Amino acid sequence: MGRQRKRKGRGGGARWGLRALIAAGAAALGIAGVMCRPERWLEGLEGTEPAGPPSPAPAPTSSRGSRPKGQAPRAPAPSVHLELGTPARKGGGGGDDDRRMIKPEYALSYHRGRNVASWVSWQLDASYFGDAPRHRGRFLADDTLPEGFYRVTHDDYTGSGFDRGHMVRSEERTRSPEDNRTTFLLTNILPQQHDLNAGPWLRLEEHCQDLAQREGRTLFVVAGGVFGARPKTIGKDVAVPEAFFKIAVVLDKGQGADDVGPGTRVIAVVMPNQAGLLDQGWGGYRTTVDEVERRAGYDFLTAVPEATQQAIEGRVDDGPTSR
């Protein structure tokens, strides 16, 4: 209604009367050599209308894939290592026991009561591999932990009978010496039985490396421990998991959350943290994401649409194991 009234005012007798008055005044004053356009002066007073309807804003697109029509845009991930979502504790809660930490090389949630990470999440593709040497020397206390958190040391593991088990493998961060060094921070380490660490756990790590390096795939990985109600501890109250889990979502190069679909390969395993596994392959420990969530107490792949989660989280991977 406001626009109709505006047009009427500009086309009525008052406007043309004002034009005539200006023209007559200019002639009476004898202004020579000046181009006076009453229309332009009037537009300056009234404001100009758009020449046409505004161009529609471009539809939101993902740099990593096509968003389904009608799906609301997703908030940007706080880190590339959390692109498939930040794991959420089932039933809520966590408080000070869970402290999220984001590093350039990976992201994690650190459990204050257990003095280990609840989960570690990272992206893996060929770009993370390079010629940097493996860090030599002692494992490293993480000085970025908040005040009041115990900073686990190399000596907490010494003589315990457990390996210092990497979540993000050293070989998966060899682009630079600093990248590799960060994998030796003890916030990325949990106590692992040697037979697990050097057995099926290692073989799954090698399979993920093959997918990233040889096949050029992009993986989103999350791993951590499964704990009993009263876990065994080593050192100064460093909790020992009864089992370990890993989830690896396998995509093509450059793909991300928008490209996860019902047919996407998802590897999920739970492996017992015990001796006697040295010669075991990893394929026999495959399970569903739903089972990992039940055992670990976290909801994973939270940035993936619910319908897609339902399709992929209840399925056991049957892809090749390569090792």
Residues with a catalytic annotation lie at 166
Nearest to 114 by CA among 95, 93, 138, 98: 98
Nearest to 173 by CA among 106, 120, 128, 218: 128
Q: Would strands 265-272 and 298-299 be described as parallel, antiparallel, or unpaired?
A: unpaired
Give residues with Cβ within 8 angstroms of 320, minimum separation 6: none
Give residues with Cβ within 8 angstroms of 259, minimum separation 6: 64, 65, 251, 252
Other beta carbons less than 10 A from residue 311's beta carbon: 17
Give the integer Cα–Cα distance in Å for 162 and 171: 20
CB 122 within 8 A of CB 108: no
Give the integer Cα–Cα distance in Å for 216 and 320: 16
Give the integer Cα–Cα distance in Å for 104 and 51: 49
Other beta carbons less than 10 A from residue 202's beta carbon: 16
Nearest to 117 by CA among 107, 127, 129: 107
Ramachandran region of residue 115, left (φ > 0), alpha (ψ -120 to 50) or beta? Answer: left
Cα angle, residue 196 at apex, residues 169 and 166 outer, rounded to 5°: 20
Which token pair is 123? 């992206």
